[in-house]
Structure 1
Amino acid sequence: MMIVEDDPAIGDMLLRFLIRSGMPAQIARSGREAMLLKETFGPDIVLLDLELPDTNGISLIPWLLRTGDCGIIVLSGNGEEAERVVGIELGADDYIIKPPSMRELVARIRAVHRRLARGRNNEIRPEASTTLRLAHAEVDLRKRVVIVENGDRIPLTGAEGKALELLVAARGEPLSREELCRQALRRPLGSEDRAVDQLIVGLRKKLSSRDSDDQIIVSVRGAGYALSA
């Protein structure tokens, strides 16, 4: 467990409580410290404060996901819906308003642990190749970036990169919205949840050519989404 929190009172309280609860934990006080500690400590879950002295915690989410599989629980004093949505869409697993109830925090950490364990057991594994070649561009799946013909690089979010990996691994077979939500957004799909559709819309825009109306990702009626042949 890695705690990324610059407030000494909150950070030390979380550290003591988690260790007493049987969860090995270390703390980083800034974005830079978090990046160094992530490489050496390899946490399975990160508690991430958004208001850090050297960076916005939101910007750390894609980096954390690129550098190794881990769960991310955002801690913030700001309960604005827009901020929560951005954090979740970038790949965070949960969002908790500070100061958290310690019992609730432990329950949420354990819930994320269970979801991660289920995902690893059932995950669709991508092929060994990390490059997807399109007519007008190529995608580096490992670095999660689209490289277009003129050399411009368009970054993918963590959720977009994961969704594309899954679609590539499926080899043209459709993936359901439920599966994409579970693996790319790392949460269950709600009854009127349009998050997967919004994710695919954004991904299509980044993969499409201005000179063509062809869609790289197609909708399959009643089945979900697939890569076009």
Structure 2
Amino acid sequence: MGDDRNVLEGFVYDRRPRRAFAEGFAPLGTPSPGLLDGSALSADMGRVPYRVVSGPDGELRLEGTGNLAGVPFVLSKAYRFFEDHFSVSWSLSASGRTDLPDEWKEWALFAELPLTLLAGHDSGRTIRVEGRREPFLWDEPWEHGEVRWYRGEDDWSKTAFLVELSGVVRLIHAPIETVSLSESGLERTFQGTLFIHAFPLARLCGGEASVMIFTGHDSRSLPHA
């Protein structure tokens, strides 16, 4: 039998549903463990129903409401669809205010994106991040400062995607793993990678920040164009 204590080390019971572009608020410098498991999020919008509002063709616009640090807010989220990519953008407004409330100056919106390329530790499946010469494997946790893009590649399936970022000052990625029971004992099983993007609220109030995703063959060369 394997050493079950080693397998379980560092694992937490994750009660938060993992959905693409779910978001929540936390102070900008919040340590990554609390962001990855969702425990540090205040006004967790991943659990709040949004309402659909009117928008132009090719755009789905949603609005969610809540209260952050005692200030009511409206969070607007827009999905825009194009021939070769799509984007998700966020903007924020405080009820009855036109400027950034003082209570929000050190806060950020953290939006998550869970993705998988089937194998977490394989040299043919990599993540590349702006400013880093060497690629990461999908099961490697890391944290970055302000970046404009990252991309994933799978040599076996010839799959590639590119994520372009606007307004992100912090990028975190870490594996999503489960525990399964086999003949040898408890085993860690890679399920995917969670990417978390931090948008300072100062950029969302009166402005907009976005995540733009390209897929297909062209996504390999776009960062260098």
Sort the TM-score into its range (normalised by shorter chain). under 0.3
Specify which structure has the higher proportion of helix.
1
Specify which structure has the higher proportion of strand.
2
Q: Which has the higher contact order (CA 8 A, sep 6+)?
A: 2
Tell me the TM-score normalised to structure 1 length. 0.24
Tell me the TM-score normalised to structure 2 length. 0.24
